Amino acid sequence: MIFSQEKRISLLFAMERQSDILTEALRTIAFNKPYGVLPCFTDPDGRSTLADYVTIPGVYAAGRLDLDSEGLLLLTSDGTLAHHITDPQHKLPKVYLAQVERIPSEEALEQLQQGVLLNGKKTRPAGARLLLDDPLLPERSVPIRFRKNVPTAWVEITLREGLNRQVRRMTAAVGHPTLRLVRVAIGPVLLGDIPSGQWRDVTSSAIREIYEAASRQ
């Protein structure tokens, strides 16, 4: 079937408008999860959940962030986007700041970078670098456990998979237990200056970058 130039322009406009309407109907937000909040909306034991902070209908967490971890959590009503965020085959980078016991050596950092054995399975290569200065983060609502005469350090770790409590298990495996863990980026979406317990909408350009990153795998 051959369309006139005018008809083709009309069809393209209609398709773009339909896409815009669909995008507007979906919602994706970036939430700064506080320490001690479960990454779900209900809890039979009455602990604090996302429902205490997010009242947008139809959005759910795309992935997990444990009760004792803080920082960036994406919530979306777009099931396809959630799959792209959470499925390890898409290798979407997730960046964490981990405060660990003692100062890691170059050898320990190389072990994290090359992958460590967790329950007999080696993790994928990861980014790991020692931060020379403490990151600018607010104090945690519950102070970390300090041990007298044991120094702490901050390490930036970038993962492209999502095993259960992976960062904590990896740092413990190389001799540096994690005392505090904050996720600061998921792909192109940054935690930035979102206050703890607050959220903002994720831009359409960031969502497009997530889809484009997935299509390259």
Nearest of 121, 186, 188 to residue 160 by alpha carbon: 186
Residue written as token pair 């300090």: 146
Token duo for residue 56: 């947008």
* Strand segments (E) across the chain: 28-33, 60-61, 70-76, 94-101, 117-118, 121-122, 127-130, 152-159, 178-186, 189-190, 199-201
The terminus-to-terminus CA distance of the chain in angstroms comes to: 35
Q: What is the CA angle 38-153-149, rounded to 5?
A: 105
Token duo for residue 198: 């607050």
What's the number of CA atoms in the CB half-sphere (13 Å) around residue 31?
30
Residue 60 Ramachandran class (φ > 0 left, ψ -120 to 50 alpha, else beta): beta
Residue 91 Ramachandran class (φ > 0 left, ψ -120 to 50 alpha, else beta): left
Catalytic (active-site) positions:
66
Token duo for residue 168: 């904590």
